[in-house]
């Protein structure tokens, strides 16, 4: 890496997240396979040292929390062994949506024919507006998580595209419900009649109940949206590896987060070869000692040096792009897998205790 003065740059660690006690929602995201789950778990482990109750939630359909902690993590908050204040849970938006609809039907269907009609039409609406099913599921998740009374929730999200859709849900749903509510003055009678077709009751009653249900949903979504866009409550940690595609994806993610008004000022770069060493210094050492090494060792060292030079180039680009405004944390490539509580605890220290780039 080129020499640079890092004295005025933001600290290269996630200590700022630990220190910001007002934070309630921390999203961790990035391209597939860059170490989001490991970063989420390590951040949760560190937060558990300073907060009373911490929850890690996986919204990735391909759940990995169970693998990371080496214990079964379910759909309800599961206590993590070795902690008395750290829980984890894995959710599935589509499956949760079906359960939510069933719950709505159970709680309202038996009450009256009018309510049954409302539930039927709500189901039709959720099937017809793209993304609304996951959006409503997510709003239910947020309500559930809020009721559980955790100090901070870390979201281990799905790969970038899915995550961006997740974060845009409040906006999508707000627009969709806004449109429906706009139509009530123009097609009020028609909405009432359409609702009545799905169940008993007069069109007037049905219209009022449907609009009441939609307004109730919109209030929840607005609350979620406001929380997401408040940097005191929510932040997003971008995770990448020092390769072109991953850095490119991170740039896209940062721009999209900015568009949604979501705070993001932390980037974690995983799988870094010898983050404290410079490729040129290693190259000089290799040149001096290459002759004394067996041929196979020379090939291994040459391959490692090629990878190190490539990584340094992209790490340099990362600091050029984000170094002035973002906390860029370099996490070392290890000789062992980060699985189980002990290994996560050990590795998580690197998130808080920054690598000395001058070392």
For the question of residue 60 being annotated catalytic, the response is yes
Of 16-20, 332-336, 344-348, 350-354, minimum mean pLDDT range? 350-354
Of 57-61, 162-166, 332-336, 349-353, minimum mean pLDDT range? 162-166
Tokens of 105: 């039907």
pLDDT of residue 345: 95
pLDDT tens for each residue of 15-57: 999 999 999 999 998 888 899 999 999 999 999 999 999 999 9
Residue-wise DSSP of 204-252: HHHHHHHHHHHHHHHHHHHHHHHHHT-TTTEEEEEEE-SSHHHHHHHHH
Residues 6+ apart with CB under 8 A from 152: 23, 24, 25, 26, 47, 51, 54, 55
Tokens of 329: 């944390």
pLDDT of residue 110: 44
Q: Is a pLDDT exceeding 50 seen at residue 335?
A: yes
Q: What is the mean pLDDT of residues 89-97?
A: 68
Q: Using CB atoms within 10 A of its CB, is residue 274 exposed (0-12), middle (13-18) or buried (19+)?
A: middle
pLDDT of residue 166: 66
Place 108 in a pLDDT band, splitting at 50, 70 and 90. very low
pLDDT tens for each residue of 211-262: 676 677 677 777 777 888 899 999 999 999 999 999 999 999 999 899 888 8
Spell out a b/e string for 88-110, using b for 16 or more CB atoms within 10 Å of the CB, else e. bbbbbbeebbeebbeebbeebbe
Question: In the predicted model, what is the mean pLDDT of the chain?
Answer: 80
Query: For residue 250, which phi and psi values (nearest 5 degrees)?
Result: -65, -40
Q: Is a pLDDT exceeding 70 seen at residue 187?
A: no
Q: What is the mean pLDDT of residues 169-185?
A: 68
pLDDT of residue 330: 94
pLDDT of residue 147: 76
Tokens of 283: 């190259």
Out of 5, 19, 60, 133, the active site residue is 60
Residues 6+ apart with CB under 8 A from 262: 27, 167, 228, 229, 234, 235, 236
Q: Is a pLDDT exceeding 60 seen at residue 113?
A: no
pLDDT tens for each residue of 267-326: 999 999 988 888 888 888 888 888 888 989 889 989 999 999 999 999 999 999 998 999
Q: Using CB atoms within 10 A of its CB, is residue 43 exposed (0-12), middle (13-18) or buried (19+)?
A: buried
pLDDT of residue 99: 61
Higher pLDDT among residues 32 and 160, named by residue? 32
Place 192 in a pLDDT band, splitting at 50, 70 and 90. low
């Amino acid at each position: 890496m080129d020499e640079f003065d890092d004295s005025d740059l933001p600290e290269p660690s996630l200590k700022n997240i630990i220190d910001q006690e007002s934070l309630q929602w921390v999203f961790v995201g990035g391209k597939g396979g860059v170490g989001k789950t490991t970063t989420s778990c390590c951040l949760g482990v560190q937060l558990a040292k300073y907060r009373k109750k911490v929850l890690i939630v996986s919204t990735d359909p391909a759940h990995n929390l169970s693998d990371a902690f080496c214990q079964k993590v379910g759909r309800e908050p599961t206590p993590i062994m070795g902690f008395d204040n750290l829980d984890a849970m894995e959710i599935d938006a589509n499956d949760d949506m079906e359960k939510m609809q069933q719950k709505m039907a159970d709680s309202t269907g038996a009450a009256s024919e009018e309510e049954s009609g409302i539930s039927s039409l709500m189901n039709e609406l959720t099937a017809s507006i793209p993304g609304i099913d996951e959006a409503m599921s997510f709003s239910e998740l947020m309500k559930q998580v809020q009721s559980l009374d955790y100090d901070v929730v870390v979201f281990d999200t799905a790969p970038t595209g899915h995550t961006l859709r997740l974060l845009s849900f409040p906006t999508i749903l707000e627009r969709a419900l806004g449109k429906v509510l706009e139509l009530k003055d123009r097609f009020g009678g028609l909405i009432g009649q359409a609702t009545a077709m799905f169940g008993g009751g007069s069109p007037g009653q049905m219209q009022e109940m449907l609009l009441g249900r939609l307004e109730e949903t919109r209030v929840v979504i607005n609350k979620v949206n406001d929380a997401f866009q408040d940097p005191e409550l929510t932040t997003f940690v971008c995770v990448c590896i020092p390769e072109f595609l991953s850095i490119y994806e991170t740039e896209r993610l940062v721009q999209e987060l900015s568009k949604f008004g979501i705070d993001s000022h932390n980037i974690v770069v995983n799988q870094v070869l010898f983050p404290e060493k410079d490729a040129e210094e290693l190259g000089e050492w290799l040149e001096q000692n290459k002759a004394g090494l067996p041929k196979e060792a020379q090939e291994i060292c040459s391959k490692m040096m090629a990878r190190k030079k490539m990584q340094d180039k992209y790490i340099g680009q990362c600091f050029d792009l984000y170094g002035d405004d973002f906390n860029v944390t370099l996490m070392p490539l290890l000789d062992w897998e980060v699985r189980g509580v002990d290994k996560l605890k050990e590795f998580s220290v690197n998130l808080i205790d920054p690598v000395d780039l001058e070392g």
